[in-house]
Structure 1
């Protein structure tokens, strides 16, 4: 088997800049010549073994980060953006997109921001949004999308927040809830458990925190820790948000909630202890849920965040969809990326999870790039806590590449060797390369169509190869 050459010029430049070193000093510490380093930083040469060892020994750099990160995500996002009809006749080849993602990631992100602004403006026109009647209509990325992309491009792992949560969990010991309540009371906070105020309500004036007793115990603990993060960890969260440089106060506020949620989840499932338990149980979500007093969704989401340098877990993707197929949460530490616009591939087992409440569904799937995955899906129902309260229903999906199947209890008994066992799935119909998919909703924009009025197969057109 041929050894894949590693081109990571952008990562090398980023590390050198972060260390404040010149190319000359960086080359000397890595034991290579200045011209050779320059060629590697510009992706004219692959990263050598000498450099890989030097990065690990001299700087303690997690060399696995050289082969992961933004490049695959940027390629996937650019392909989806370029599938927009406005680019139908000008879409560049995949090789060019990979070069842009590797050599000019900042330019690639600027292109994605530009396309997002175009799309939002186009949607306002199509729907006759009343905002067009106002001067200076905002075409910046929506705050929600900006925050989602922030977590997406930092691998859904926030090191400073994660480690602070782990320290707090160690201090709390076995009685986490009481320890948290004591810390809040020490700050002058009154804690009540009363219905009728939503899951959680904090009144800054009276310094009163009210939690709903109707919520599940794990939800109450999570909401308690969320409020603790906002009050006791405000300085840490603020410093992290400052580094993100969000474009609006709204985006920053949404991210603050996301950071508090992250802290709460990391306290309930401290990184080191949770990672060890995940490996020991072979990622059995139900056993982990019982052991850590967390919901199935919280456990699945936490598994997707185990990306601490030097102590990474199995790289999972995690997503949540609603009953309309819209992706409401998404993250991938794998090569699999998700559609930024529209729903997920209809062949994905996550859509069938609504039909089998309370059961795990397993799927072996293969994406158009040849990558194979073990995928787990399950519905998640969230009661409103009363007879007339609305029931919220979602489905979650967790998966990893098949090479990690041995670490996954859900892969037991599956035929991992047979190609017929793997169902072909894609990302979005507009950029999917498959020509014979019976669930295709729209034609692929990168292929020409052949229309024959005298012949009809599954699709009303044929896709030229």
Structure 2
């Protein structure tokens, strides 16, 4: 079998720019000529073995990143965008999408931003009565989506913030609960902690320096909120510097991302990277054991597992998603080939939707996507009680999974028949772009395929996908 050539020009160029080196200096350190480096950066030549070794030896670069990065995500996102009917007559082939993602990732992201703005504008025009008289700022990309994309394309791993949180956790005395360590750090920062019988999880008064926590919240939630406040107070310069690099389009997106980074710090301090990775491997990713060991919730543990992408010390590449009862994705991240729908709900055949039916239990599923990749998926409801009689319950379910080739690292896969192809349920991303022609649960026709409608014939679907 022929060796596959590695074209990673965009990644090579990003690495050089991050190191603030000219092409001439970078070529010298890699031991290649300037024209040769230029050709590799423009994907006119594959990255040579000499360059791969030099990257590892000279810069400590995790060479596995050359074959990953944003390309797969960009291709998936562009493919979904191209399923829009506006491209029905001139959608480019998949090969062109892959070329754009690998050779011109900035252009691909710009296209996705443009398409997102087009969709949002079209949706507003469809309800013109609501759009009339609104501020023109609504024409911008949704701040929420912009922040989700920021974390998505960072592989849900923020190195500087993660290390800062790990260093903070390392200063705790052996055996000290993280909540105690966080309270002591807040006390040193001049912050007093109070508790109140209120549904509001956290309230900080900058004038009195009093942090009020809800006495109704679970202990792990209170610990998390203390760490979040600590991040905002003691690590504000680091968070602001990270936000500067992100270059968000609006103040709203920057504000949302700031809370997201503070949340990231809290989770990383509660579950420090090296210790958590070792424990995850030791327990074979048993979420309940990890939650007990680190004083965290099941959802916090699942989300943290999806962030273990530190160069040189990566964990199992997981996907993580949280959905509400309507199937709307409220949190999403994928370090695998599995991508989530940017518009509409997730595939109804996915076990995460069934988790609401079995509260308190883990559901397991072997699944196969249309591209032939097989996964093991774990789902559980994480509904949040209101704290008092009559208070509304916030109902969510989470799914955590990985490609089946990593199944041996999961305790949840022990008695599953991984060798039986029939054990894998067919799932997709969303009906809009799913290529399956015989799905019994399809809600809308695939946008990329032609339909045949026969008035004298009615199968499971009222049409046939050609």
**Post-superposition offset of 1:430:** 1.3
> In the alignment, which residue of structure 2 is the partner of 1:132?
132
Q: Which runs of 5+ in 2 are unaligned?
A: none
1:243 maps to which of 205, 228, 245: 245
Q: How does 1:220-231 map to 2 (within 5 A)?
A: 220-231=222-233
> In the alignment, which residue of structure 2 is the partner of 1:109?
109
Deviates more, 1:404-413 or 1:187-196: 187-196
Q: How does 1:186-201 map to 2 (within 5 A)?
A: 186-196=188-198, 198-201=200-203
**Post-superposition offset of 1:129:** 4.8
Structure-2 change in CA distance of 1:190 and 1:70 (3 Å): same
**Post-superposition offset of 1:162:** 0.5
> In the alignment, which residue of structure 1 is the partner of 2:150?
150
Matched, 1:429 2:431: yes
Matched, 1:60 2:60: yes
Matched, 1:367 2:369: yes
CA contact (8 A) 1:222 1:264 kept: yes
**Partner of 1:329: helix, strand, or coil?**
strand
**Partner of 1:275: helix, strand, or coil?**
helix
Deviates more, 1:424-433 or 1:174-183: 174-183
> In the alignment, which residue of structure 2 is the partner of 1:70?
70
> What is the TM-score with the length of structure 2 in the denominator?
0.96
2:441 maps to which of 429, 439, 442: 439
Deviates more, 1:416-425 or 1:43-52: 43-52
**Partner of 1:365: helix, strand, or coil?**
strand
Q: How does 1:28-47 map to 2 (within 5 A)?
A: 28-47=28-47
Deviates more, 1:5-14 or 1:270-279: 5-14
Question: Per-residue CA shift, 1:364-385, capped at 9, x if unaligned?
Answer: 1111111111111111121121
Structure-2 change in CA distance of 1:234 and 1:19 (3 Å): closer
CA contact (8 A) 1:124 1:132 kept: no
2:210 maps to which of 208, 211, 236: 208
Question: What is the alpha-carbon distance in structure 1 between the residues aligned to residue 73 and residue 243 of structure 2?
Answer: 22
> In the alignment, which residue of structure 1 is the partner of 2:384?
382
**Post-superposition offset of 1:48:** 2.4
> In the alignment, which residue of structure 1 is the partner of 2:123?
123
Q: Which runs of 5+ in 1 are unaligned?
A: none
> In the alignment, which residue of structure 2 is the partner of 1:80?
80
**Post-superposition offset of 1:412:** 0.7
CA contact (8 A) 2:199 2:387 kept: no
> In the alignment, which residue of structure 2 is the partner of 1:95?
95
1:319 maps to which of 318, 321, 325: 321
Runs of 4+ residues over 4 Å off in structure 1: none
Question: What is the alpha-carbon distance in structure 1 between the residues aligned to residue 129 and residue 194 of structure 2?
Answer: 43
Structure-2 change in CA distance of 1:417 and 1:135 (3 Å): closer
CA contact (8 A) 1:365 1:424 kept: yes
Question: What is the alpha-carbon distance in structure 2 between the residues aligned to residue 15 and residue 379 of structure 1?
Answer: 41
CA contact (8 A) 2:327 2:345 kept: yes
> What is the TM-score with the length of structure 1 in the denominator?
0.97
Question: Per-residue CA shift, 1:189-210, capped at 9, x if unaligned?
Answer: 2211111261111122222111
1:310 maps to which of 292, 302, 312: 312
Deviates more, 1:84-93 or 1:103-112: 84-93
CA contact (8 A) 1:157 1:307 kept: yes
CA contact (8 A) 1:73 1:337 kept: yes
Question: Per-residue CA shift, 1:264-322, capped at 9, x if unaligned?
Answer: 10111000000000000000000000000000000000000001111111100100000
Question: What is the alpha-carbon distance in structure 1 between the residues aligned to residue 417 and residue 260 of structure 2?
Answer: 39
> In the alignment, which residue of structure 2 is the partner of 1:260?
262
CA contact (8 A) 2:318 2:400 kept: yes
Structure-2 change in CA distance of 1:209 and 1:354 (3 Å): same
RMSD of Structure 2 on Structure 1 (CA): 1.5
> In the alignment, which residue of structure 1 is the partner of 2:12?
12
Structure-2 change in CA distance of 1:129 and 1:295 (3 Å): farther
**Partner of 2:128: helix, strand, or coil?**
coil
Question: What is the alpha-carbon distance in structure 2 between the residues aligned to residue 402 and residue 135 of structure 1?
Answer: 48
**Post-superposition offset of 1:36:** 3.6
**Post-superposition offset of 1:186:** 2.4
Question: Per-residue CA shift, 1:187-246, capped at 9, x if unaligned?
Answer: 222211111261111122222111111111111111111111111211211111111111
CA contact (8 A) 1:155 1:332 kept: yes
